[in-house]
Chain A
Amino acid sequence: MSLTDPVVHDIVLVGGGGAGIRAAIAAVEADPKLTVAMVSKVYPMRSHTVSAEGGAAGVVKTENDSFDLHAFDTIKGSDFISDQDAVEAFVKEAPRELLQLEHWGCPWSRDPDGRVATRTFGGMSTPRTLFAADKTGFHMLHALFQTSLKYDRIVRYDEQFVTSLIVHDGAVRGVTAIDLHSGKLLPIYGRAVIICTGGAGKVFPFTTNASIKTGDGMAMAYRAGVPLKDMEFVQYHPTGLPGTGILITEASRAEGGYLFNKEGDRFLSNYVPTKMELGPRDLLSRAIIEEMEAGRAFEGKHGQYVHLDLTHLGEKKINERLPFVRELATKYVGIDPVKQPIPIRPVVHYCMGGIDTDINGATPLRGLYAAGEVACVSINGANRLGSNSLTECLVFGAWAGKHAAQYVRQGGSDSSPAPESIARDEWARIERTYLQDHKNGERIATIRHEMQDAMEKGCGVYRNGETIQAARDKLLTLRERYGRISIDDRNRVFNTDLTAAIELDFMLDIALAMAEGALRRTESRGAHQRRDHKGRNDQQFLTHTIAHRTEDGPRLEYRPATITRWQPEERKY
């Protein structure tokens, strides 16, 4: 038998990144009695949040800024399918959360006059992004983590890989997790569950995301009957390094970097003439792809690329303002940006879609909450603005924690305890699905590679019905082939073959939801650009895509986006 004795807490929180830790703190602060299990597959300080360099947005200086302006930038950036009530609530709460984080020890960078320093990010009409040197995410997570240590009611379960939600009587009752140290399955019961497991960039081959970003929480919720929202919207960042996907920060353009094509043209003048290099990410990514297709990009071993040129900024400015960029370019592509332009190409960066939640982080499943990149509230709509997501982790993490605590106080999901057989069945499923010995079975790495390739070809920056359909068909075949996987490693402890198999299983579900959403949205909006359906269709698609999982693949329905004060207009920069 490979089950360990269950543990019981009031709230089970999956994820120790920015959103997760913020939710844990909010929950224990909301109710001095309850305990929170914080379950994470890697140590919390190794969560992907540490990779954010750029900053977190919020209206902290009111001379040239206002809540309305931040809201409008976000809504316009979203190509008008964010929910405007959620955006309004978000921008109002943002400064409070950023200040709170400073009280917890996050060292926001300062201007010479002692005020908090802010910088401009693409699509934001004024400098409103706070940063902590070039390690914003790290400092934020560190401050949150240190604060969480003050509460002994936040109990950590590190290196525990959650495989499923325990659902009984129409409500969530906990999770099952593989304890990587022993290889056994640990049932963790709770009266509410909060999912904060981050994004799913690894569905694509070329991404800024680290290998842990496999969309686990999205897939677990989806399998438990919770819909995924707006999955077709995947953000490409315009400036990734070819070969690795390492992100060259937007700050390089904010500091005056130029994009050039092979012919030496600063080609953005043909696409986003007023904003040029400071245009939003989706428009810049598209412009680069168009240059590639027109034969005006460079050809390299890792495909086509264009140039990000910083040489005119001079060594002094580059060293002072962009030391990290110089270092990355030197180390990863062997180019010194003081002397030569940096090769870059668009790279998958962020999932706008995710678990369907309301403003409080509540999902349609009783007792289940979600926040951070895994969730879709939606404030990001069809395109997220850079630096909104760290703040989103704080604002919605806190609300999800607070509301989960409230739900537990009012009784939570504990009318009848979940039968033990659920966890036993889950172990049987794990053995059956992942650990069976198929002679000449399918290889995990092969299926993953083919899935990523299909997604890049079918659901890239530009899509059309035929390419998406091909990707979708391919995914269905891969799903079928997945039934015959075989893994070599039979050890229990830290079985990375097993975790890779489960992560791939999750990703196949997510990829299919993305492809189905992309196929059915016969218009172009934000990050979703169809060559066969150019332009927005507000008559039909001022809506969220809601995907339900069925045995025959995703079933989609549409829900109108909430419009409060800002009517859709053409999105021009």
Chain B
Amino acid sequence: MNTLLDTEERNRLRWQCRRGLLELDLVLERFLEKHCNRLHGEHLSSFQTLLTYTDNEIWDLIRARTECRDVRFAEVVQWMRECLAPHFDVEDTAVGQTRKIPDLP
């Protein structure tokens, strides 16, 4: 396989993962970190096709508001969904605390 082309393709994917939605930036960044180096064949072309969708279409697929009609994409969509993990550890000191709601003027 032509290595130059590989770098180019990786760069192209990286650019096309820059989106208008911050939510997508975060998921796609993780996706690239995890999967970029082993994407090829069907998976690669599915991912390339998915990136041509609008931000909201991709986002709806990732958060399972819609399902992909094309079953060939299912596996890649599933990998994307797995990249939507919390970025936050709850160290919540307030669970169970009584809230005070003042009288409003």
Contact A300 B91 (CB under 8 A): yes
Contact A340 B11 (CB under 8 A): no
Q: Which residues of A contact B56 (CB under 8 A)?
A: 50, 135, 138
Contact pick for A50, options B8, B20, B87, B97, CB 8 Å: B20
Instruction: Output the least CB separation between A178 and chain B (Å).
Output: 11
A495 within 8 A of B: yes
Contact pick for B8, options A51, A142, A266, A493, CB 8 Å: A493
* Cα distance A335–B6 in the bound complex, in angstroms: 40
Residue of B nearest to A492 (CB): B8
Count residues of B near A (Cβ-Cβ below 8 Å): 39
Q: Which residues of B contact A493 (CB under 8 A)?
A: 8, 11-12
Instruction: Output the least CB separation between A500 and chain B (Å).
Output: 10
Beyond A262-B93, A298-B93, whether A489 also contacts B7 by CB under 8 A is yes
Contact B104 A332 (CB under 8 A): no
A327 within 8 A of B: yes
Instruction: Output the least CB separation between B92 and chain A (Å).
Output: 7
B98 within 8 A of A: yes
Contact B11 A331 (CB under 8 A): no
Beyond A138-B55, A244-B26, A491-B8, whether A51 also contacts B93 by CB under 8 A is no
A478 within 8 A of B: no
Contact B91 A489 (CB under 8 A): no
Taking residues whose C-beta sits less than 8 angstroms from the other chain, chain A's interface range is 35 or more
Q: Which residues of B contact A210 (CB under 8 A)?
A: 18-22, 24-25
A151 within 8 A of B: no
Contact B8 A332 (CB under 8 A): no
* Cα distance A302–B26 in the bound complex, in angstroms: 16
A372 within 8 A of B: no
B95 within 8 A of A: yes
* Cα distance A343–B63 in the bound complex, in angstroms: 21
Query: Which of B1-60 touch A at CB < 8 Å?
Result: 4, 7-8, 11-12, 14-15, 18-26, 54-56
* Cα distance A300–B91 in the bound complex, in angstroms: 6
A334 within 8 A of B: yes
Beyond A266-B99, A274-B105, A309-B99, whether A212 also contacts B87 by CB under 8 A is no
Chain B positions near chain A (C-beta within 8 angstroms): 4, 7-8, 11-12, 14-15, 18-26, 54-56, 63, 84, 86-95, 97-102, 104-105
The 8 closest A-B pairs by CB, nearest first: A334-B86, A494-B11, A243-B87, A333-B88, A50-B20, A493-B8, A494-B12, A243-B88
